[in-house]
Amino acid sequence: MKLWTHWQTPELAPIPAALRDWLTDTGSLTRQLQQACQQSFSVALLHSGWQRPLPDESLLLGQPLGQLMFTREVQLLDGEQPQVYARSLVPVNTYHAKRARFDALGNQSLGEMLFNDPQLQRGPIQVACLRPGQPLFKQASRYLQQAPLTLWARRSCFYLAGKAMLVNEVFLPSDNWSDQ
């Protein structure tokens, strides 16, 4: 049985104090992590290609259920330590409008591309406490040696020249949040 994720506005969520600033900041998470890293920041590409999104991802983007979208999954690392699992979903029309930029990303941060685009607009941030049994929890924790009891995540739609895409960011167990 799949448990569906309960996304809500940050104001309504019981976010742990150590994560509140991380989950609610509307700037570039990449830049935040680069400043907070104890070692060197890097991006590990886990997947890039066409997949069926989760139903709530399709609904948020206003796309038909089951329609393939360009999907990119990465881990943002501090040295060898994964900090964030990021899952981005790009509908077909958005992908084709910016295809060369998406195809050229490789191990670069999507945030660098997004936040350097003067046409970028960001939609509202939603947050959720992910639990085992939820699809996004499973995806984010599959690369961890030991799955935690919960993971906090945020998501928001980004609009490039009016074309939508969704970015999910799941905060993995890290000293960067527990020391705050």
10-178: CATH architecture = 3-Layer(aba) Sandwich (3.40)
DSSP string spanning 114-180?
Answer: HHT-TTEEE---EEEEE-TTSHHHHHHHTTSSS--S-EEEEEEEEEETTEEEEEEEEE-S-HHHHT-
| CA distances (Å), origin 55, targets 18, 32, 92, 113, 118 | 30, 30, 16, 26, 30
Q: Which residue has the tokens 């999907």?
A: 71
Task: Judge whether residue 176 has pLDDT over 90.
Answer: no
Which residue in 10, 9, 15 sits closest to 150, CA to CA? Answer: 15
- Encode pLDDT of 70-128 as tens digits: 999 999 999 999 999 999 999 999 998 878 778 778 788 888 777 877 778 999 999 99
pLDDT band at 141 (very low <50, low <70, confident <90, very high): very high
Q: Where are the domains of the chain?
A: 10-178
What's the whole-model pTM score?
Answer: 0.91
Q: Under a CB-based contact definition with an 8 Å cutoff, are residues 5 and 154 in contact?
A: no
* Size of the chain, expressed as the number of residues it contains: 180
- The CA distance from 175 to 180, in Å, is 9
- Encode pLDDT of 147-172 as tens digits: 789 999 999 999 988 889 999 999 99
- The CA distance from 140 to 87, in Å, is 9
- The CA distance from 160 to 165, in Å, is 8
- Encode pLDDT of 23-80 as tens digits: 999 988 998 999 988 899 999 999 999 999 999 999 999 999 989 999 999 999 999 9
End-to-end CA distance of the chain: 36
